[in-house]
Amino acid sequence: MPNIEELLKELNTLTYSAIDEKNADPRLIGVAIEANQRYIEHLEDVQLLPLPDRSVTVKVDGTTIRFDGDRQFAEWLSGRME
């Protein structure tokens, strides 16, 4: 089964061919524009999704310290480096 990128590529190829042959139906052009725009919006939404924090456990001088996430560990580490 083709993925969305393959389907868009095929749709764009058909649309460009129809335009080049001066045989492009306005509805085809509209569908191609809409499909590409929705895919771009989907990609933008995916980029804005927050990544889940992961717990981090470190052993320092024989003591095990567990952090709730990467950010908490980074803050602790930067404080120790000063």
What's the mean pLDDT in 47-69?
Answer: 79
pLDDT score for 8: 95
pLDDT score for 22: 93
User: In angstroms, rounded to a whole number, what is the distance separating the alpha carbons of residues 5 and 71?
Assistant: 34
Give residues with Cβ within 8 angstroms of 59, minimum separation 6: 65
- pLDDT-derived band at 66 (thresholds 50, 70, 90) equals confident
pLDDT score for 51: 65
Q: Are 64 and 47 in contact (CB under 8 A)?
A: no
List the structure tokens of 57: 């456990």
Categorise residue 62: left if φ over 0, alpha if ψ from -120 to 50, beta otherwise: left
Say if residue 80's pLDDT is above 80.
no
pLDDT score for 44: 87
